[in-house]
Amino acid sequence: MHLLDGTVEELRSQTESDELADRLSRRYTEVYHRPVGHQEYSSWVQSLRAFLEAASDAGLDDRVVFLEYEMPLCSKRCDVLLVGEDRRGEPCALIIELKQWQDVRPSNVLDCVSVAGRDLLHPSVQVGHYVEYLKYFQASATEHGVSIRGCAFLHNLDSAGSISSLRKTQLDPPEFASTYPVYAAPEEAEFSAYLYSCVGLGDSEGAAESFRRPRYRPASVLLDHAAAAIQSNFEWHLLDEQRVAYSTITAAAEKSRSDGKRRVILVRGGPGTGKSIIALQLLAHCAKRHWPVAHATGSRAFRKVMAEITKKHAKALLKSMHGDIPMIDMPVENLFTTPSSIAKLADGVGTDVLDLVVIDEAHRLWDFRRDFFGNQVSDVPMIQELMSVSPVLSFFLDDEQGVRPNEIGTVDFIRKSAEEADVEVTLIDLEAQFRCGGCTDYTRWIDSVLSYGPPAPVNWNASDRYEFRVMDSVSSMASALRNRMEEGYRCRMAAGFCWPWSYPRNDGSLVNDVSDPRFGGWSAPWNERDKNVTRQVMMYYHWATDNKYFDQVGCVYSAQGFEFDYVGIIFGEDLVSRDDEWVAQMTKNYDKGLKKKLDPQDASGLLRNIYRVLLTRGVRGCFVYFLDQETKRTFQKALGNI
């Protein structure tokens, strides 16, 4: 949970010869399995020296300092956590963000300042969110009465113009500026005085211990609002066999709370069988009872959209209850995380931290924990770490939806791993179709065409419940979808990853990468990437939920886990049909993560999974344009049109 800790005096004595930075660097490599960057190392040399001198000047030599303290269930780290007792004699933890900034200019982005041409989050807002996050998730501190505060120290910022720009930045809410103050270089004396006011009365070793051995538990008020937000959304209600799976898992969680026995429940179902709805309701069930719970998925886009939807409902509930939104929204979205972040609890916190872990899209499970760059950061298999974090794990998966080479989450793999650990396993299969117009014949037909199963009947197309059309041009497909959208339906276009994905131009406009001479002049950009600011506008959320993004094309990573009334698919040339076999043409694919897999047979399997995901996103209909004519004929033949 942190790289180093010690007293102010101990750590300050190690700054003169860069010993402290070297220790942090070695520890960083041990924890994250990669070398530290030059900028971060420079910050440890300069910023920590400036902070420790200010703390020593404030008479805080015996106070405990945590360096690079990691937030629970995410990869964010605060620079410094300083622990002591405040003027009232009560334990206090102070988060301190350190910046080497020398020049700050105004930004047009809310809550941001411009530094070296980049829009970066204002330090008051950054620290404020760290503080609020710990308040809601650091149970071992908050339950023992430790207050959490925050500030920032910009020890190189001394020009009047830059300081003025910092002070005049518009923040939302405005109170952040005073609640989480920022001190520049000329204000070092004021910074020292602030440190003393927060932690100057005593060393509070007990409070420090709660951060050395942290315990993750979402605050009860946070859980209340998450439960209410999920259960107030009619689209997330359970039906029939979904309820059976839900009841099986909740019963297992109840049993394990009393008998301590470990259990794994596997819920297997194809696209549209309601796996994600069950997973969300399980989160609500535990939240309502104030059980420690986390919802995890390997799909970043899906995770962010579910988080944003839940946050939106929670905000409406808060407003209806209190009239006004509080100073900072309760971070209900942080109940949604990754399997890797949950597995990390086994290393940093201990065993049985949670009562239930809900892992949706579990087919995207990795073999080992890895960092953002794909580097392995643990020698313990991730499935073993997960089984130690909670006595009950529920996995929602489809064996044919893995889309990356290192994704190994299958029923057989998880069941075997659980049985080897002497963990009880239950398997539940979902059959009912809640997508594709409830037309199970369509999903079976797709599986048949993509060689997942035996030949399927073609008469499903006679059903008025679902519309499937092979289009002669992309423009006609786009026009048909737009007509549906004007009728009030939610429509999107998606494609195989067969074009590069460019960053926006300097003016913010998108590049129409999805382009081909065979498109007859039609072209479009991929869906917009996230904004490069810490407090992100989650573009995946907007793309999936707002029809004004209709003209942007999604790929499997932005579409997996979601559904639309009508979906249009551009079937690229990375997967083609040849002599009744599916063949991968990786020279036509631009997914770097997928192309690491060189075995053609494995690549073909993953590409079939990808197109299976895309072809099952529609609730009412699916339109497809094929770049490869032989592949097009394969589908037409399966329809009985040839």
CB 357 within 8 A of CB 418: no
Read off the DSSP letter of residue 200. B
Q: Residue range 409-438: average pLDDT?
A: 82
Nearest to 549 by CA among 520, 529, 571: 529
* pLDDT (0 to 100) of residue 348: 60
pLDDT for res 236: 56
* Residue 553 contacts residue 569 (beta carbons within 8 Å): no
Cα–Cα nearest to 271, from 100, 101, 443, 154: 443
> Is residue 252 within 8 Å of residue 258, measured between CB atoms?
no
Which long-range contacts does 138-141 make (Cβ < 8 Å, 24+ apart)?
Answer: 138/72, 138/210, 138/211, 138/214, 138/215, 138/216, 139/215, 139/216, 139/217, 139/219, 140/210, 140/211, 140/213, 140/214, 140/215, 141/93, 141/207, 141/210, 141/211, 141/214
pLDDT at 532: 44
Mean pLDDT of 72-87: 84
Q: Is the pLDDT of residue 326 over 50?
A: no
Confidence of residue 474 (pLDDT cuts 50, 70, 90): very high
> By the 8 A CB rule, do 602 and 433 touch?
no
Q: Tell me the range of 88-102, 229-243, 499-513, 602-616 where mean pLDDT is highest.
A: 88-102
What pLDDT is attached to residue 213?
Answer: 73
372/377: higher pLDDT: 377
Cβ count within 10 A of residue 475? 14
Q: At what angle do helices 188-199 and 38-57 cross, to 10 degrees?
A: 70
**325 has a pLDDT exceeding 50:** no
pLDDT at 71: 79
Q: Is the pLDDT of residue 2 over 90?
A: no
Contact of 559 with 494, CB cutoff 8 Å:
yes
pLDDT, tens digit (0-9, with 9 covering 90-100), for 153-167: 999 999 999 999 999
- Residue 155 pLDDT: 96
Spatial separation of the C-alpha atoms in residues 425 and 415, rounded to whole Å: 7
437-639, CATH topology level: Rossmann fold (3.40.50)
- State the fold for domain 220-430: Rossmann fold (3.40.50)
Q: Is the pLDDT of residue 324 over 50?
A: no
Q: What's the whole-number mean pLDDT along residues 46-73?
A: 92
Cβ count within 10 A of residue 367: 14
The yes-or-no verdict on residue 300 having pLDDT over 80 is no
Residue 190 has pLDDT above 80, yes or no: yes
pLDDT of residue 441: 73
Cα distance between residue 574 and residue 148, in whole Å? 52
Q: Is the pLDDT of residue 289 over 90?
A: no
The single-letter DSSP state of residue 439 is -
Confidence of residue 41 (pLDDT cuts 50, 70, 90): very high
Residue 484 is predicted with a pLDDT of 92
Alpha-carbon distance of 131 to 150, in angstroms, equals: 6
What one-letter code names the amino acid at 563? E
Segment 36-55 shows an average pLDDT of: 93
Whether 437 contacts 463, CB under 8 Å: yes
Coil, helix or strand at residue 464: coil
Q: Please give the Cα distance from 529 to 145 (Å, whole number).
A: 41
CA angle 484, 490, 492 (to 5 degrees): 90
Average pLDDT over residues 367-383: 82
Domains 220-430 and 437-639 belong to one CATH topology: yes
275, pLDDT greater than 90: no
- Mean pLDDT over all residues of the chain? 83
Whether 577 shows a pLDDT value over 80: the answer reads yes
Express each pLDDT in 481-525 by its tens digit. 999 999 888 899 999 999 999 988 888 789 999 999 999 999 999
Kindly report, residue by residue over 99-123, the tens digit of the pLDDT.
Answer: 999 999 998 777 888 898 887 889 9
Which of 336, 421, 439, 419 minimizes the C-alpha distance to 384? 421
Per-residue pLDDT at 537:
45
The burial of 499, by beta-carbon neighbours within 10 Å (0-12 exposed, 13-18 middle, 19 or more buried), is given as buried
Question: Residue 387 pairs with which residues in a beta bridge?
Answer: none
* 256-271 mean pLDDT: 89
Please state, in angstroms and rounded to a whole number, the distance separating the CA atoms of residues 336 and 294. 7
**Mean predicted confidence (pLDDT) in 588-598:** 77
pLDDT digits (tens, 9 = 90+) for 614-630: 998 887 889 999 999 99
Provide the residue ranges of all domains of the chain, joining segments of one domain with +: 4-212, 220-430, 437-639
pLDDT of residue 75: 64
Q: Please give the structure tokens belonging to residue 511.
A: 């590049």
